[in-house]
Amino acid sequence: MRARSRRTLPAALALALALALVACTVPADPSPGSGPPSSGAPSRTRPSWRAVDGGPDYYARFGPTLPAQHDWFPVGVWLESVVDAGDVALDRQAGLTTYVDLTANSDLSVLEGSGMAAMVGRDDALADGFVLADEVDMWAGPGDAPWTGLWPGQGEVCTPVTGTTGCGHTIQQTLRSGLPQAGLTYANYGKGVVFWLDDAEARRFVNDHQDVVSADTYWFTDPNICRADEGGAVVGGGRDLAPAECRRAANYGWTVERVRSLVEPAGSKPVWAFVELGHPASEDDAPTITGPQVRAAVWSSVIHGARGIVYFNHSFGGDCESFHLLREPCGDDVRPWVVEVNRQLVELAPALTAPFLDGAVAADGPVDTAVKVHGGEQYLLAAATDHRGVDVTFRLRCATDGPVTVLGEDRELALVDGAFDDHFADGEAVHLYRYAHAPGASRGCSAP
């Protein structure tokens, strides 16, 4: 992940890609696959169970690998450096659990006994996993042309070959061949996979090279993402997006759904989510993400199936530039929000890695929802999709009337006749609820 500077395509190619992606257009208010009817009435379809992507034992298939216990939910930071124990202590205080693509000068021996996992872009006996090229779909493009071995800014990346436009697949295959073949591998992609490439090309990047995949789209801060040839190509039907359509947390969930839709077979590998901190664009007049926006982007991603979160921890513009936002004063405004959301992710990890119970909730307002069941309780995750304040009624199936704990808010609601109400103040509002699960085979509520 590099500075978010302006990227352009030749006009004819941009237009062709935008038109090609119109067929993939999704609503601006995405919701989980088996979401409730718009009336808010409980669905007539029986609730159905859905395992987390890859299954709870996915990481145990590899070696080396991330911690393989069922309740591990990676909370990562991108391209951080670790040179002494003080670095690790600061990152643990921020609630991080995973380093993703540590810098070359990092000392992995410092992590011993820290409980932190590390994924690196080289063969290292102390690594827990390995990272392939970042955003190669953008700077090398789809194709199997030979790779010169150079990286962006060093010269020509691909050797031209008749009929081939890029060498992105060659790069990923070359890097993968130099890593332990049984080890867990991860790669992050960018606007190529999400916006510009047709589905066949995007699927190849998502499926052919790595075991865990993500894509970064910085909806709150990217100065170009609202344009017709980027976010507008697929979310807006080929037009520029208005700020209310573009700068919203629900689009982070849309990105996760976009990548998940490309995985074959469906649900067979984990998809992680990228969320920016600070001011990742080099343009000073680009937006800076706020703490509430970070929290909302994270939970929108989780609601839509993300099995891990990775933070982009660098500011390349704005009032305060930093490569270590979670350690340095530049991150003071956003850090408390990140610490709190990370605390919740780690605390709720057993529930987040438990199965979804799709069709168990109907909401009569503009919110995205997901229901998890763990330890005899349901966890309802709900995030606003509209910038306006709204009251929402939730109607539940497979739940027992009684108290509803609103997690992290020191308040309690009452579930009466299978329903309760709550208020969502704005488009960054997120509420997490816990209440008693009511199993019943005749209603589809029994454990899978």
Among 103, 3, 80, 6, which Cα is nearest to 316's?
A: 3
Task: Using pLDDT thresholds of 50, 70 and 90, give the confidence band for residue 29.
Answer: very low
Place of tokens 């061949």: 177
Task: Tell me the average pLDDT across 7-36.
Answer: 32
Instruction: Give DSSP secondary structure letters for 370-439.
Output: EEEEETTEEEEEEEE-SSS-EEEEEEESSB-SEEEEETTTTEEEEEBTTEEEEEE-STT-EEEEEEEB--
- Condensed to tens digits (0 to 9), the pLDDT of residues 216-247 reads 999 999 999 999 999 999 888 899 999 999 99
**With pLDDT > 70 as the criterion, what percentage of the chain qualifies?**
89
**How many Å apart are CA 138 and CA 154, to the nearest integer?**
16
Helix axes 291-303, 335-347, angle to 10 degrees: 30
For residue 322, what are the β-bridge partners?
315
* pLDDT higher than threshold 50 for residue 26: no
pLDDT above 90 (res 22): no
Report the candidate in 389, 345, 375, 381 with the shortest Cα–Cα distance to residue 361.
381
Listed in sequence order, the residues at least 6 apart from 139 whose beta carbon sits closer than 8 Å to its beta carbon are 152, 157
Please measure the distance between the N-terminal and C-terminal CA atoms of the chain and give it in whole angstroms.
39
Q: What domains does the chain contain, in order, with CATH numbers? A: 54-352 (3.20.20), 355-443 (2.60.40.1180)
- Of the candidates 143, 146, 289, the one whose C-alpha atom is nearest the C-alpha of residue 219 is 289
Q: How confident is the model over 126-134, as a mean pLDDT?
A: 98
Q: What is the pLDDT of residue 38?
A: 31
Name the average pLDDT for the chain: 90
pLDDT tens string 306-329: 999 999 999 999 999 999 999 999
The bridge status of strand 309-312 relative to strand 273-276 is parallel
Helix axes 199-208, 250-262, angle to 10 degrees: 80
Q: Quick one: pLDDT at residue 394?
A: 98
Edge-to-edge, what's the strand order for the sheet holding 212-215? 212-215, 185-189, 129-131, 117-120, 98-100, 75-78, 309-312, 273-276
pLDDT at 19 over 80: no
At 381-435, the pLDDT tens digits run 999 999 999 999 999 999 999 999 999 999 999 999 999 999 999 999 999 999 9
With cut-offs at 50, 70 and 90, classify the pLDDT of residue 21. very low
Is 70 exceeded by the pLDDT of residue 102? Answer: yes
pLDDT at 14 over 50: no
Structural contact between residues 91 and 327, judged by C-beta atoms closer than 8 angstroms: yes
285: nearest Cα among 60, 1, 4: 4
Q: What are the phi and psi torsion angles at 276 (to 5°)?
A: -85, 155
| More confident site: 234 or 197 | 197
CA-based nearest residue to 69, from 97, 89, 106, 111:
97
Instruction: Report, as an integer, the average pLDDT of 118-140.
Output: 98
What is the mean predicted confidence (pLDDT) over 88-104?
Answer: 98
The mean pLDDT of 240-261, rounded to a whole number, is 97
pLDDT of residue 211: 98
Q: How many CA atoms lie within 13 A of 259 on its CB side?
A: 33
The pLDDT of residue 34 is: 31
Residue 214 has φ and ψ, to the nearest 5°, of: -150, 170
Mean pLDDT of 255-272: 98
- Phi-psi sector, 417: left (phi>0), alpha (psi -120 to 50), beta: left
- pLDDT confidence tier of residue 163, bands split at 50, 70 and 90: low
